[in-house]
Structure 1
């Protein structure tokens, strides 16, 4: 745990220990949590591989427990959240990473002071998880089993109708990171590093129609941390607008510039220029009281030449992709890079009990070397959520990828079939 999170922990203990006995009648405390159990199965991995690296069929049972405590006194607030993410049944699956297994870790541990001034809403210090805008650059995970955390400081403010957030953060690296320890659900304390930092500004207009955010990621190698030495700036502009009453469109455009290295290898010492972009857009209509249908397209720049001194592959930083490209974890859906993917999606909500999503995408690589195939295939996905009770939710879903020529190589050229089911219990 970094110095900042230790300070936050000390402040949290001090606030709760001092305030509780003296001002017990004014101290408000809330707690909440959830327990999720999910089963996944995949036949024929998506990406080309050999049978000595990955088996044809993979099964996994994953569990995730979240426990959160929130203490408030006057303008002060202290939050602590623990998460325990584990995986079972996997037989040394090479795709099992620390993004899916993170055993008994404090993912949030911070203090904040609210109503600082006319313009400053709050100041927060400690370890946090974040949701910004579309969550394509930074987000609190829903489907994925483990959560990304950050240590640092945030300032939330208001100016001429805009909600603003300035932040200076150190991304938290999840440990252990070696495959054997992850496969055995072993525990090690996560920590941040001073040689990797993320800072910028996030802004939302008063009518929520505009979202603008910028991120500057700076990192360098150290004895404990091998990096791509990224020094990149990412700017995103997001516009949402309703029209003709029941129609809505959204477009989000991102540009990325700076420099980085091709790999995190110690032998890679060549800094390359970064020039990349990403676009998401959709237009949809409320068909009836329960169903929304939209046409959508995802596009992100990619690299077809790794020797030209420029990196054109888009880096989605700490963003999420499940809601655009399909289930992550076992399915290992497509990255938000070097992709062109138009499609259709419908979401039907029936009386707050049933939530049904059906989606289709055609997928191409945006850039390929001359003479190589670019069509990845046709993907259909489905998800049904049934609210059994106010606290218990049942989920069932899956995806099917009819592979295109670009993926019909390796030991498993046949189409990929994936299914999952799960239960989540929440309390507060």
Structure 2
């Protein structure tokens, strides 16, 4: 039987999609009250409010002429680094220091496990407590910069037979990023900016379907090699890279293999607000396996047209990719079209109504003369079909 994945979904998406939300509100009084205890409470609240306001003002000031973004700002999503400046401002660190600390704790439970390993556990409920901790330290606020980011991903309550444990959930005490970068603004007076990154890094490209710094997953893709980009701010940019993907180990330090290479080029054009455009090519050569039938040599060619969501406006996305090459000794041809249209409402929480369609080709005759199963490469796993975990 061929394996073909189809999905058509209509759902309501809200601006908050978290398992737990912790909020803190500080209320400032306009007039003093006669109660001494109330006055003391108001003074404390006012003091806390002033403290956090100073931190916010300091962090915003870092966006001035003396501040450059973090060393990996051009590599990944902006939300991954936006909190670092608040810690930096609270500690009064100088401009050339980047410091960030993060922990995410999540509990997951599946009452009817479906994986083949579930038979070992007799079909009992599979639960786990997943922790992902990160620390980052960077130096430099000029053309030359350095960044280290470490990550510890582990889980608890997973020792029963049949429980789900692998390197997508566990990667203890590892180096996520360790690189140096060079930035040149206004190249030869052209108004263009160029960046080089050398070392171990994480990458987000385009929609993140095929290359991503994992967000929901407990462990994270990393790459050893170089990345280069050139472009004009908020207009267009070209990115190229040649890397060895990190091979995750649950306990030991991640390694790389010269027989496992990944390279590509990506270009984006943002000059038309209602039709942003992207085009890309990704090459993969994976010869690590002793079984030559599992060797992969693929070229993935794709494009994307989209408009970002905005309140009281329609948005859309059209993305398609074709994959050609060899899987072992057989020809490989696969494809993955995606389409969606949505509308964001101007009401509290700004909910979005979204219609989404995705299709991934499959192999009709396993073991035959043609491979047709689309390989998502290093993308965020099925992120557009809602978050996945255990």
Aligned partners of 2:151 and 2:176 also within 8 Å: yes
Which residue does the alignment assign to 1:45? 113
Which residue does the alignment assign to 1:231? 297
Residue 321 (str. 1) matches residue 381 (str. 2): yes
Which residue does the alignment assign to 1:297? 357
- Residue 173 of structure 1 deviates from its aligned partner by 0.1
1:251 aligned to which of 318, 321, 342: 318
Cα distance in 1 between the residues matched to 2:113 and 2:142: 53
Distance 1:324 1:73, change over 3 A: closer
Distance 1:54 1:126, change over 3 A: farther
Higher relative strand content? 1
Which residue does the alignment assign to 1:113? 182
Q: Deviations over 1:372-398 (max 9, x none)?
A: xxxxxxxxxxxxxxxxxxxxxxxxxxx
Question: Residues 57-136 of structure 1: matches in 2 within 5 Å?
Answer: 57-90=125-158, 91-93=160-162, 95-115=164-184, 117=187, 118=190, 119-136=192-209
- Residue 94 of structure 1 deviates from its aligned partner by 5.5
Cα distance in 1 between the residues matched to 2:122 and 2:151: 29
Q: Deviations over 1:348-375 (max 9, x none)?
A: xxxxxxxxxxxxxxxxxxxxxxxxxxxx
2:236 aligned to which of 137, 150, 162: 162
Question: Residues 146-185 of structure 1: matches in 2 within 5 Å?
Answer: 146-158=219-231, 161-176=235-250
- Residue 299 of structure 1 deviates from its aligned partner by 0.7
Aligned partners of 1:54 and 1:94 also within 8 Å: no
Residue 280 (str. 1) matches residue 338 (str. 2): yes
Partner SS for 1:191: coil
Which residue does the alignment assign to 1:203? 267
Residue 241 (str. 1) matches residue 315 (str. 2): no
Q: Deviations over 1:142-193 (max 9, x none)?
A: 11100010000011112795211110010000114xxxxxxxxxx2111111
Distance 1:285 1:213, change over 3 A: same
Aligned partners of 1:29 and 1:69 also within 8 Å: yes
Cα distance in 2 between the residues matched to 1:163 and 1:214: 15
Aligned partners of 2:319 and 2:338 also within 8 Å: yes
Aligned partners of 1:254 and 1:279 also within 8 Å: yes
Answer with 226-235 or 83-92: which moved more: 226-235
- Residue 242 of structure 1 deviates from its aligned partner by 7.1
Which residue does the alignment assign to 1:308? 368
Q: Deviations over 1:80-121 (max 9, x none)?
A: 000000011112446321111000101000000001634451
Q: Deviations over 1:273-314 (max 9, x none)?
A: 110000111111123241211111111101131132111010
Cα distance in 1 between the residues matched to 2:373 and 2:242: 25
Aligned partners of 1:228 and 1:260 also within 8 Å: yes
Q: Note the residue ranges of structure 2 that are not aligned, 5 or more in a row.
A: 1-92
Partner SS for 2:249: coil
The TM-score with structure 2 as length reference comes to 0.68
Aligned partners of 1:143 and 1:322 also within 8 Å: no
How many residues matched?
286
Which residue does the alignment assign to 1:30? 98
Partner SS for 1:158: strand
Aligned partners of 1:220 and 1:227 also within 8 Å: no
Cα distance in 1 between the residues matched to 2:118 and 2:98: 50
Larger Rg belongs to: 2
Distance 1:242 1:82, change over 3 A: closer
Q: Deviations over 1:237-272 (max 9, x none)?
A: 1101379961111111011000013xxxxxxxxx11
Cα distance in 2 between the residues matched to 1:96 and 1:222: 22
Give me the CA root mean square deviation. Answer: 2.6
Cα distance in 2 between the residues matched to 1:248 and 1:92: 46
Partner SS for 2:216: coil
Which residue does the alignment assign to 2:81? none
Aligned partners of 1:96 and 1:329 also within 8 Å: no
